[in-house]
Chain A
Amino acid sequence: MSSQVQPMTPATPAVPASHAADTAPVISLEGLAVSLGGRPILKGLTATLTGRCIGLLGPNGAGKTTLLHTLLGFYPPNGGTARVCGRDIRHDLREVRALLGYMPENDAFIGGMSGVRFVRLMAELAGVPKSQAIERAHEVLFYVGLGEARYRDVGSYSLGMKQLAKLAQALVHSPKVLFLDEPTNGLDPPARTRMLQLIRDIRDAGEVRVILSSHLLRDVEECCEEVLVLKNGNIATYSNLEEERRANRKFLELELRSETEGAAAAFAEEIEARGAELAAGTRQRLKLVLPEGLGVRDLYELAAARSVQIRRLDYKKDSLEDIFLKAMEGGDDVRI
């Protein structure tokens, strides 16, 4: 499979001025509750998602895929509702589906078809007329990098190629919202990089809003502007990564060494008493945010006074991992 994707944008999303203003909600969850087999899976989710690329994060069984499937109308809500681009999934399901492109998590294709025929069929089912569907199928397969393999049977594709074929069928009818469920599952590093490049390219084209469900923090961090973290069917947190990045809130990460265990603890208590915000860490490794008026020099002085050595001092941005871990530490409370 040859790489045919054009040079893409850098990993950190650059928000074009025209897109920055585009803050219309792509998905509104209004107390959305879903039970499957008598077991509550989504427990009254309420949130408004507005980004160009929104990450859905959460551990296995958190409800990410169920949320996508409910928005697609595969599962009926037990309570509340949701809107996709303003259309209610309970009442305007056909219109909602017309807006969506869906790349499922598992292998999904129509057997006994070549790549181009498969994508053409998917285009026609979405309403693209036959003659244009053929053209679109070729175009999209070239775009995702399957141009050379488009006449091969989809069943004979490698895992990475099947992922790209799934992406092609999700894109072929030009949806307004693209649901990507674990798009990098099972991909080797070059294929994963290519997939993420494609997602960023689609996002930056500005015509499609992307919902990326993944349990891989790096994938979400590399592509998404907003992240919705689910935990046990509740929203654990909803963060705007762009704002987090813009705020450039820096952590200091300190690695300490002291003769006694108590010295490091006393040092930590001292700087906390002076207004520093301590994040989770061990006694020998601290993560903190310094308050106004407390500088790095002060830290060294305090450490010297307590006979503590600062062996390493790093500035670290609030990463998605921190946001995720904080969300996972908390209870099932909603934090938006």
Chain B
Amino acid sequence: MSVYEQTYRSYQGPLTPTWSRFFIIPRYAYEVVFRSKLFVGFFALCFAFPFVGLILIYLKHNLSALQIFGTSAGEIAKALPINNSFFYYGLWYQGALAFLLVLFVGPALVAPDLRNNGLALYLSRPFSRTEYMLGKMSVLLILLSAITWMPGLLLFAFQASLEKGWLGNNLWLAGAILVGSWVWIVFLSLLALAVSAWVKWKPVARITLMGLFFVLMGFGGTINQALGVWWGMLFSAWHVIGSIWYSLFDMGVSDDLPPAGAAWIALVAGCLLSLWLLYRRIRAYEVVR
């Protein structure tokens, strides 16, 4: 209808399938997020390690390129081991960047909707709380996937394609990359959404999120020192995820990390707590008792 015809006319066209509608939220969120040049720069930086990794893998299998510098092939091969350690430390690097990315994007996801009473508008449509949360979560899930397991698996596939027989012996590494990345992604996303849902101001939400990672780590360390126990480490998300990754990548035993079983329980508990906090908060209207 032409804009000058200002009488009410209803929409008679087709509707999109209901299952697809939660993708609308990340689409709108990305339009805002990628408007920031700072974020675009940071996001590009997140691909630096995978890029370097690709070069290293290429060089390892093209030793003649390095022999130009007068190094022996054996030494070079020794200096560039593409094994579980390579992917373990790669995931650590990318996981730390994922945390920074969540600090940047996470607090802006739910808090503005709560501050401006926007939830009533979302939920008055054929759009459930679960779809809302999935939509908001997928903003982080997609971004974090792009910088963790996707490049991890790309490096894995590249290495597998260059070395015959390597894939068969190291297939479990692909599982470790996938599972290790996803547990971190899900944990970070749920925690960021929960904080965003309970702290309405973005800067305060950012500080709270940092506090949960660093203050709790200090708190856990203090408990360990004061009581002479190990379970204080379970308050530290870094130690918890470190323990899970350490066991997933079969790095051996470390005294600096909590047992993997306890770490898994702590991580699941953290996710369930975040989910519960989210469900308590994601309502069209708060009932004042």
Residues of chain A at the chain B interface (Cβ within 8 Å): 4-6, 36-38, 69, 72-75, 94-95, 97-98, 100-102, 104, 106-112, 117, 121-122, 124-129, 132, 136, 138-139, 142-143, 147, 155, 169, 171-174, 201-202, 205, 207-208
Verify if B254 is at the interface (C-beta below 8 Å from A): no
Contact status B3-A138, CB under 8 Å: yes
Within 8 A of A (CB), among B17-46: 18, 21, 24, 28, 32
Contact status A112-B32, CB under 8 Å: yes
B interface size (C-beta, 8 A): 40
Residues of chain A within 8 A of B6, CB atoms compared: 4-6, 142-143
CA distance A205 to B6 in the complex (A): 12
Partner of B1, one of A100, A121, A139: A139
CA distance A202 to B9 in the complex (A): 9
Contact status B8-A108, CB under 8 Å: no
A202's nearest neighbour on chain B, judged by CB, is: B8
Partner of A38, one of B12, B115, B118, B289: B289
B126 CB to nearest chain A CB (Å): 4
Given A37-B287, A127-B126, residue A111 in contact with residue B116 (CB < 8 A)? yes
CA distance A205 to B5 in the complex (A): 14
Verify if B7 is at the interface (C-beta below 8 Å from A): yes
B254 CB to nearest chain A CB (Å): 44
Contact status A122-B125, CB under 8 Å: yes
Most buried by A among B15, B121, B122, B284: B121
Contact status B124-A205, CB under 8 Å: no
CA distance A112 to B29 in the complex (A): 11
Partner of B113, one of A72, A110, A136, A202: A110
Verify if B64 is at the interface (C-beta below 8 Å from A): no
Contact status A110-B121, CB under 8 Å: yes
Residues of chain A within 8 A of B16, CB atoms compared: 124, 127-129
A120 CB to nearest chain B CB (Å): 9
CA distance A4 to B115 in the complex (A): 31
Partner of B8, one of A36, A73, A125, A205: A205
Partner of A124, one of B7, B21, B112: B21
Residues of chain A within 8 A of B8, CB atoms compared: 143, 171, 201-202, 205, 207-208
Given A6-B6, A69-B285, A98-B126, residue A136 in contact with residue B11 (CB < 8 A)? yes
Given A36-B287, A201-B8, A207-B8, residue A125 in contact with residue B3 (CB < 8 A)? no
Given A5-B6, A173-B11, residue A126 in contact with residue B117 (CB < 8 A)? no
The 7 A-B residue pairs with the shortest CB-CB distance, nearest first, are A127-B15, A174-B10, A37-B289, A111-B112, A102-B124, A174-B11, A108-B117
CA distance A205 to B7 in the complex (A): 8
B235 CB to nearest chain A CB (Å): 34
Residues of chain A within 8 A of B52, CB atoms compared: none
CA distance A66 to B210 in the complex (A): 39
Contact status A74-B117, CB under 8 Å: no
Known: A107-B117, A125-B127; 17 extra A-B contacts, CB below 8 A, are A4-B6, A69-B285, A74-B284, A94-B128, A97-B127, A98-B125, A102-B120, A109-B117, A124-B16, A126-B15, A126-B126, A127-B21, A128-B15, A129-B13, A136-B11, A155-B116, A205-B7
Most buried by A among B8, B127, B285: B8
Question: Scoring B residues 37 to 61 as 1 if CB is less than 8 Å from chain A, else 0, what string do you get?
Answer: 0000000000000000000000000
Question: Scoring B residues 105 to 121 as 1 if CB is less than 8 Å from chain A, else 0, what string do you get?
Answer: 00000001101111011
Residues of chain A within 8 A of B126, CB atoms compared: 94-95, 97-98, 126-127
Verify if B123 is at the interface (C-beta below 8 Å from A): yes
A95's nearest neighbour on chain B, judged by CB, is: B126
Given A37-B288, A94-B126, A126-B125, residue A111 in contact with residue B21 (CB < 8 A)? no
Contact status A125-B21, CB under 8 Å: yes
Verify if B283 is at the interface (C-beta below 8 Å from A): yes
Given A94-B18, A122-B125, residue A109 in contact with residue B116 (CB < 8 A)? yes
Contact status B125-A109, CB under 8 Å: no
Contact status A111-B284, CB under 8 Å: no
Residues of chain A within 8 A of B115, CB atoms compared: 111
Partner of A72, one of B32, B118, B284, B288: B284
Most buried by A among B4, B8, B124: B124
Verify if B14 is at the interface (C-beta below 8 Å from A): yes
Pairs A–B under 8 Å by Cβ, sample size 19:
A36-B287, A37-B288, A73-B123, A74-B284, A75-B287, A97-B125, A101-B124, A102-B121, A102-B124, A106-B117, A107-B116, A108-B121, A111-B113, A111-B116, A117-B28, A128-B15, A129-B15, A169-B121, A205-B9
A37's nearest neighbour on chain B, judged by CB, is: B289
A64 CB to nearest chain B CB (Å): 14
